[in-house]
């Protein structure tokens, strides 16, 4: 059974870069049927899509974050990663990784999420 697990620092200083990794287990990230994505949720607020990546490296980003976001994939490690630079307190959120079905574009699997706090 495929599972996703987020990992990375829980505390990041303002103006620095937030870096998270999602490890896919129980299946291959190199599937032609899926994309892999990041979603975040500020405390007490709704879901915000950050971006997606295909195993071959093509990406889609939320226009509101595009200038600060990079999503990459490492098929040898079955992982994909998120980098968000120049963070501020507004980037404090639970960050989820997910598997995005590529025909109708829905997240059918989610990681448990990891809280990242931006604070000095």
Partner 1 sequence: SYVLTQPPSVSVAPGKTAMITCGGNNIGSESVHWYQQKPGQAPVLVSYYDSDRPSGIPERFSGSNSGNTATLIISRVEAGDEADYYCQVWDSNIDHVVFGGGTKLTVL
Q: Where along the sequence are the contacts to partner 1 (CB under 8 A)? A: 37, 39, 46-49, 52, 60-63, 96, 100-101, 104-108, 110-113
The minimum distance between CB 43 and partner 1, in angstroms, equals 12
Output 49 or 70, the one with its CB closest to partner 1. 49
CA distance 52 to 72: 9
The minimum distance between CB 65 and partner 1, in angstroms, equals 10
CA distance 16 to 19: 10
Output the CA–CA distances (angstroms, integers) from residue 120 to 9, 48, 76, in the order listed. Answer: 14, 24, 35
CB 23 within 8 A of CB 78: yes
The minimum distance between CB 67 and partner 1, in angstroms, equals 15
Output 21 or 49, the one with its CB closest to partner 1. 49
């Amino acid at each position: 059974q495929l599972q996703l697990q987020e990992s990375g620092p829980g505390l990041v200083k303002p103006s620095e870069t937030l870096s998270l990794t999602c490890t896919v287990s129980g299946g291959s990230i190199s599937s032609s049927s899926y994309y892999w994505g990041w979603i975040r949720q500020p405390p007490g607020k709704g879901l915000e899509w950050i971006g997606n990546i295909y195993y071959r490296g093509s990406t889609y980003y939320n226009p509101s974050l595009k200038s600060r976001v990079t999503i990459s994939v490492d098929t040898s490690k079955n992982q994909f990663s998120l980098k968000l630079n120049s963070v501020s307190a507004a980037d404090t959120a639970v960050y989820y990784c997910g598997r995005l079905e590529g025909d109708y574009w829905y997240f059918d699997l989610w990681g448990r999420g990891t809280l990242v706090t931006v604070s000095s």
